Each structure stands twice: as structure tokens, then as C-alpha cells.
Structure 1
């Protein structure tokens, strides 16, 4: 675990239902359920299984994860986000408000272990941000316009000003985003929270901009919670959202082309 992040928990929200890929946490990748690939990386980052919890909403996921030795907690089935599911875990396990929790999505089987420590360490190193997340430079102009790749704009101290699916900032002079004119940043959806922040955030109403963009981190900004953006050099491997993503992941893990 990163220096300064000695007391870190990792919660892996693993919701069984998915409109694009039902049963996603249990999808087989090289003989192992996807959520277990994620859990093993989290265990390595956290220094042991006792600091990692898989938060589930279905007995099928709970049974499989438990059989692999994971710490599992059955959570409410109607949470709107992984943040709310993580907050329930923190409450039920009685975690202290000062502890740091990394929310690691259960569909990221190739997440680099060092990034889990990196985001936790970033939050541990500051007292004037309540959340930490990651961003990296875009590598080509076409990706900047992809609404599935979230953009973030930061202030001079590295705090997030805004997240959007649209290309931000808008280039009024040239009319279209171009890396020759501005260093556009791609947001990486890995978060570290202090438990107290996690509890407060989960109880707040949705923000108008969160609702229209479908980006839950905008709720934190709307309610005045500073978000530290730690910059990394390159984006991690893509997660699994669709059957095509799953097929590509299987090829990659087995040594074939993605």
C-alpha cells in the first residue's frame, strides 16, 4: 500500500444485475469469476484479505466469492450506486470516519495493483480534499469526443472543477478539441474516500448535473466536496461492460489480442 495510506479498506461493489451483461460478476475469465480477479488485485494492494470486502446483492455472487475465501457482505438491492453500497459496508462494519476506503468496481479485472495504492495514498497525503480520483492525458483527438470516456478539468492545485461526457473545455477558437491546443484529461473511475465523506455523500440528494450527465462524482462537487485528481501517465486496461468487452478480456487473459 502507498506510503501514508496505512489504514485503507477496499470495497468492491458487485451487483449481479446488469442490463448489458447479466450476471457480470460471475462471468468466467480463464476459469475464474471476474469478481475474483478483481478481489485478488485488491488483496495484493491492501496487504491482505481482511481489508477487502466484496459488497454483493445476490446470493449467487456471495456463494462464489465466499468459496474463494473473500470477505463478503450482502447489501441492499436498491442502491443507486457503488458509493451507496460502500457506505452501507462502512456503516455495518463500524469503520471509523477517518479511515480511507477505495471503491473498486467489480468489472475491472486488469486494474493495475499500484493504482489502488496510488489513489489511496493521494488522499492520505492531503487534508483539504475529501475524495481522490485519477486522470491521465488523452492520447488522440477522436477519444476526446467519445461520451463513454469522461473528461475532467482541474484547477491549479489539481482539484476537480468539473467532470463531463462532453469535451471540456470547449475550444471556441478552433471549434473542436485538439491536443495541440489543450492537454485534455481523461478521468479514471477509481475513487478513495474518507469514511466520513462516504457516509455524508451517500445521504445527500442527487445533483441536477449528476442526473443529466449520469456521473455520480458530480454530486460531490455540487455539495462542495473537494476532489483531488491524481495524474497518471496512461489509462489502465478497459473494464467489462458488454459481451464484446468480455470476449476481448478473455482473449487478453489467455494471451491473445484484445
Structure 2
């Protein structure tokens, strides 16, 4: 089973333009993410795929494997699909460029899902973290996920799900971490299928998989880290890095 990691890296992020080139402990965020992913030693290859000459030059400068995206894309999965379309691989792990704290154990858990899935019932796997802070639960920048009894995803939302109508029910809230592992064929299906209304409304790309009947296995991790979506997140990341 050939497994690679792809890091989609768009320069002009809507909420925080240029965030991947911001300094984190003396190196750009994207460099920290790339090096952390390589250091896991879990992959046959680690590739940054970008639409930016600035990011391309940065990864190339450190001797990393980087590809220039040929097209404009709405999301990271599309960018990755274009890059891997002609590669002979089985599993693609999407590590978000703004997640420099992605850890080895969490990635091992994602890969294990496919190694144990002899009947190929899982189309993709992703990470979730139990959260209790009400501000985070209600924050639309935090994507929440609900799962069934076997931890297959039922839905993702920027709203608090489930809605706590009955305050006495002991509901656990899970934050979706933007790290995915795909079977290549599921990723290519995503690339070739149009966006539907739920994905368009929430602006959460993994909803497209659910809308087309794909099965997403969620894996719980205790590693919270920091996803750098805003300047405030970057300040948190700097404190955590120290």
C-alpha cells in the first residue's frame, strides 16, 4: 500500500491572507508544517502543492518536494486531486498547511483505518477532538462533527451540532481537524463531482463526500494543536511553539 502526504498551500486565504508565510519560531508556517509531516516518517513521499510562487520557492529552497497547481481551485481536496491524478498511489493523506502541530500518533491512527479495512468500506478517514469550551463550540470558524455508533460521520457544521435543546442530555461536542486520508478513487470522485447546496452553504468540503454517499470514518485524537485561521490563532501558535 503506497501512502503519501499532500499539503495544499494557498497563499491568498480569505480570512488571513499570506498566513502560511507568517513567522512561527523563525520559519514560515508552511515550512513548519512540511517538516513536521516529513519527520513522522510515515509516508512514501510528502508533497506541498501550491498556487503561489512564494510558497513554491520557500519549499524548494529547503529541498522539499513541491508542485505548482495548474488550475484555480475552490478547496484543498481539488488541488490535491489535480496533483495526484496521474500518480500510482493507494492512500493520500491531506495535511492542512496551517496545522504545524499535526502529530505522528494522530496520523498513524488515520493510516491504521485503511490497513484494517480489508473490505474497503471506508472511503476516507479524518480526525476529531473532544471540545468543551462554549466559545469554541459556538465559533463558526470551528467545524463540528457528529458521528454514529461506529464513528462514521453523519454531518459537519459551523453551527453547534447537536443543538442542546435539552440541557440535561450529556452531549459530547467534537471539533473536526482538517486532516484527511483518502482512498485515491474517492478523492478523484470528489474532484469530478459538482459542489451541491449543503457544501456551498457551510463552505465545508467534506460535506460533498457525505452528499454523494461516501463513508467518512472519524478518528478521535487528544492532540488539539492550533489551526491558524486568524492573526489571533497565530499568536496562540507562537506561545504554544515556545
TM-score using structure 1 length: 0.86
- Within the candidate set 100, 110, 113, 1:109 is matched to 100
Q: RMSD over aligned Cα, in angstroms?
A: 1.9
Q: Which residue of 1 aligns with 2:110?
A: 119
Stretches of structure 1 lacking an aligned partner (at least 5 in a row): 1-5
Aligned to 1:95: 88
Alignment partners' CA distance in 2, 1:41 and 1:73:
18
Q: What displacement does 1:79 show?
A: 0.7
Aligned CA distance change for structure 1 residues 205 and 46 (closer, same or farther; 3 Å): farther
Deviations 1:188-240 (A, max 9, x none): 221000111111111111121111111111100000001001122x2421121
Give a deviation string over 1:152-211, Cα, whole Å, max 9, x none. Answer: 11112211111111222233334xxx7x62122222221000111111111111121111
User: For the Cα contact (< 8 Å) 2:103–2:223, is it kept in 1?
Assistant: no
Give the secondary structure class of the aligned counterpart of 2:139. Answer: coil
Which structure 1 residue ranges, 4+ long, deviate > 6 Å from structure 2? Answer: none
CA distance in 2, matches of 1:71, 1:186: 30
Give 1:249's aligned residue: 237
CA distance in 2 between counterparts of 1:173 and 1:252 reads: 36
What stretches of structure 2 of length at least 5 have no aligned partner?
A: none
Q: TM (normalized to structure 2)?
A: 0.91
Superposed counterparts of 1:23-34, under 5 Å: 23-34=18-29
2:143 aligns with 150
Paired with 1:172 and 1:31, the residues of 2 have a C-alpha distance of 47
Relative distance call for 1:69 and 1:149 in structure 2 (3 A) is: same
CA-CA distance at 1:142 after TM superposition: 4.1
